[in-house]
Amino acid sequence: MAESDYQVVEFGPMESWGAFFGGYSPQTLAPGRKFVDREMDLGYFGVSLNSRVPGEGVDYWHSHSVLEELYLFLEGEGEMGLDDRVVPVKAGTAVRVGQGVLRTWRCAPTSPVPLKWICIRAGGARLKDIPKDAAPIRDRPLPW
């Protein structure tokens, strides 16, 4: 029987992200970050899990020449610097950042809880250029 091509990794609930992730390292670039794609064999996109305490950000700007990023905020309140603008973010805010845009971020000093977000990045084919590839199967019994 062929092995199914799936993989399962436990990263822990959001409240554990900050403490669990430890400090700055050359691999994480900042405290409070874990790269899902370093622990799973993601082929086409990368994902990081992020946590910052109130007032804490990163000490740099960065941009990407190839990758598009989506910052999806899940808890807390913060701000993103995007070129010459500052955008407030909170649970449910999604920020798409195109190539070449300078970005930086912080958890607001007044945030009642740490800022939690995921960041997704990819630079391959545009999704719209991939032909419809989903194949629903309605006659296979569900497993429960």
Q: Binders of a copy of itself among 109-128, rule CB under 8 A?
A: 118, 120-127
Q: Does 131 interact with a copy of itself (rule: CB under 8 A)?
A: yes
* Structural tokens at position 30: 């900042």
Contact by Cβ (8 Å): 45, 125: no
Q: Does 31 interact with a copy of itself (rule: CB under 8 A)?
A: no
Contact by Cβ (8 Å): 115, 107: yes
Please report how close the Cβ of residue 138 comes to a copy of itself at its closest, in angstroms: 5
Contact by Cβ (8 Å): 52, 46: no
- Residue numbers 60-119 binding a copy of itself by CB under 8 A: 60-68, 70, 72, 74-75, 79, 81-87, 89-104, 106, 118
Contact by Cβ (8 Å): 51, 34: no
Please report how close the Cβ of residue 86 comes to a copy of itself at its closest, in angstroms: 5
